[in-house]
Amino acid sequence: MPVGSLMRPAPLIEVGSSLEVAAHSLRESGASILVVVDENRLVGGVTEATLALALADGAEMTDPVERGMDIVPSIAPYSTGAEALRVSVEDRAASLVVIDDLGRVMGLISPSDLYPKFRRPLRPYAVGGMATPFGVYLTTGYIGAGVSKWALYATGVLMFWLIAIALVSGVQLDKYLLSLHLPPEWVDPASWAFSALVFVLLLRINPLTGYHGAEHQVVHAIERGEELDPKIVARMPRVHPRCGTNLAVSAGLFLGIFMTRGWAPDEIRLLVAVLLTMGLRKPLGAFAQQYGTTKRPSPKQLAAGIRSGKQLLEAYASTRNSAPNFAQRMLSSGMLHVMAGSLSMAGLVYVLGLIFHVDTI
């Protein structure tokens, strides 16, 4: 494309103007160069570097702008972007002045103007989400996009069985350690830690963590205003400060410290648990996300997350914005659907226990 269709307006100053006015104009415009003109014809340019040289040379602020001016590279409006890039690199110029064949200034062209421009869709201030075994669910608090509510229900079912297997494993370890006549106050924390380890290992071997990583990367891209391009989204971090993992880690750390009896009175354990949880919740939450509850998504999982993100942005752009109340946020968050999945499994296990006379509590 010709640079005339890519250029931006140029801040101008007439010859004979003072350095004080030039410095003020350069500061206010935020441009990389202030173009000096004589009846709109290019004379030179003032930059921060040329102003610094003028000041170091003893120039007064009342001196004419020519004291802080230098020759600047220019280019014709019909030149191509490739030519503009070549001149910028050869002259190490942050901006080129676009002039017509009569030397009249038309605008500025900078390397950032040569990048392809895309239409940025409206962006919500904050995005929440949830990973499911079948893809990614995203929400603004009142708009949901991505996988269906049944996928969220399936997440609750899956989480119930992962937690159940982990807890049963911990109970079995608890019984084994007690059979060795170990102190009960140390057996319980060890069993809980083993249950947590089993739970994390089960998470790592199913697709949920990959979709969880994709969800976080897409949310980061949306909140940073990035285009939902696979190359860009793949560079986004998998750790997000609003992830529910942080809350789970904080609760686990607090209970683990407070429930470990024998090393201090209840009041001291409570104080230590609060202080350590407040101090370690962020780094431990980030560690748990990076190495536990998320993993690098596969191309298929990343594509699913991007699809959900684009659906959310399209719906957000065409929906009247509103401030959701608590009930709307809860319904849109997907938590109720996940809880329904887990509770239905708990009810099923309880009923089966009654039928076959097995204690499931």
User: What is the percent of the chain where pLDDT is above 70?
Assistant: 95
Look at residue 232 in the predicted model and tell me its pLDDT. 94
Look at residue 1 in the predicted model and tell me its pLDDT. 77
Q: Is 257 a residue whose pLDDT tops 80?
A: no
Q: Is 33 a residue whose pLDDT tops 70?
A: yes
Under the banding of pLDDT at 50, 70 and 90, the label for residue 44 is very high
Q: Cα torsion at 143, 144, 146, 149 (round to 10°)?
A: -160
Query: 113 or 323: which carries more pLDDT confidence?
Result: 113
Q: Is 282 a residue whose pLDDT tops 70?
A: yes
Beta carbons within 8 Å of 36's beta carbon, 6+ residues apart: 12, 13, 14, 15, 42, 43, 44, 45, 46, 65, 66, 69
Look at residue 213 in the predicted model and tell me its pLDDT. 96
Look at residue 120 in the predicted model and tell me its pLDDT. 63
Weakest-pLDDT range from 188-197, 229-238, 298-307, 321-330: 321-330
- For tokens 């997907």, the residue is 334
For 98-144, the pLDDT digits (tens) are 998 888 999 999 988 888 766 666 678 788 999 999 999 999 888 89
For 200-215, the pLDDT digits (tens) are 899 999 899 999 999 9
SS3 (DSSP) at 22: helix
Look at residue 143 in the predicted model and tell me its pLDDT. 87
Weakest-pLDDT range from 29-33, 147-151, 212-216, 255-259: 255-259
User: What is the percent of the chain where pLDDT is above 90?
Assistant: 51
Look at residue 3 in the predicted model and tell me its pLDDT. 86
For all residues of the chain together, what is the average pLDDT?
Answer: 88
Under the banding of pLDDT at 50, 70 and 90, the label for residue 181 is confident
Nearest CA-CA partner of 334 in 139, 135, 127: 139
Q: Is 47 a residue whose pLDDT tops 70?
A: yes
Written in H, E and C, the secondary structure of 282-309 is HHHHHHHHHHHHCCCCCHHHHHHHHHHH
Q: Is 262 a residue whose pLDDT tops 70?
A: no
CB 129 within 8 A of CB 213: no
Q: Is 5 a residue whose pLDDT tops 80?
A: yes
- For tokens 């509590």, the residue is 361
Rg, the chain, Cα only = 31
Look at residue 320 in the predicted model and tell me its pLDDT. 67
Is the pTM here over 0.85, yes or no? no
Taking each continuous run of H as one helix and of E as one strand, the counts in the chain are 12, 9
